[in-house]
Amino acid sequence: MSIVQPPALSGNERAASKRVLMSKKNMMIRIVAGCVLVTGLVGCETRQDRAVKLGRMIVTNAKGNHPIRVSKQMIRMKIPVRRGDYGLNSEKKMELGNFVEQYRREGEGKLILSAPAGQPNEVAAFNVLNDIRDSMKSHGIVRQMVRLRPYSPKGDPEAPIIISYLGYKAEGPKCGPLTRDVGGEYANRPGEQLACANQANFAAMVANPRDLVEPRDESPRSGERRDQLWDKYVKGDSTETKKSKDQKTTLSSAVGN
């Protein structure tokens, strides 16, 4: 039996055949991609796995979705003054002490004392003001750190003494109700209220809101030991730590010599 070889194709014929094969290949790719897309759409529609409309983009990062806003504000404390008052009671002294310590940790600039002037309680306010100064002095607040200024309240016979300073205040997000059931969320998308409560609690508990804006300065180094070694190095003495005879014996026994 003889084998008949097919006739050889010319260059033009080979190019045309190649174009036909490529066209068929591209057609198959488009068909398969279309089927996959349709299948995916059908699956999403069947499982009701649709995107939730929140009016804005869902951010999976809690800090971005529920940010804590930190701003500089005047932090105030009001001490009511009634006619006939001669000073602060124990409760107000404790409250004032906590406020002053907070100012030492967080405050910027001077501590401002605003006292009522031209009111029926002006004499009582003067007495309370002297007690406030003495209490501040016991907490390390010197006169140069305080600025006194009068103010004229209208129609308030018990106008308070206002103590204020410029500091940072952290405001957490306002969390809304959980309006969407995430039990059937097949795509595992984050809920719109995810980590909102954590952010709100963090803003309320942070000791110094300024820490959320910038890091604190480093405390001075403890350089006593370093200074001693440096003095020895400059003098040319040995910087080796001297050990007593008992320490050397204990060390030799530990290593088995």
pLDDT band at 220 (very low <50, low <70, confident <90, very high): confident
pTM of the model: 0.51
| pLDDT given at position 252 | 55
Long-range contacts of 183-186 (CB under 8 A, 24+ apart): 184/48, 185/49, 186/47, 186/49
- CB 126 within 8 Å of CB 85: no
Instruction: Kindly indicate whether the domain formed by 73-169 is annotated with CATH number 3.30.1330.60.
Output: yes
| pLDDT given at position 203 | 92
For residue range 101-156, list pLDDT tens digits in order. Answer: 989 888 888 999 999 888 888 888 888 998 999 989 988 898 889 999 988 887 77
Mean pLDDT, range 211-227, rounded to an integer: 82
Spatial strand order of the sheet with 161-171 comes to 69-79, 161-171, 108-116, 146-151
pLDDT band at 77 (very low <50, low <70, confident <90, very high): very high
Q: Which has the higher per-residue pLDDT, 28 or 68?
A: 68
From the list 244, 242, 239, 243, the residue with the least C-alpha distance to 228 is: 239
State the Cα torsion 134-137-139-144 to the nearest 10°. Answer: 140
Per-residue pLDDT at 63 exceeds 90: no
Amino acid residing at 127 = N
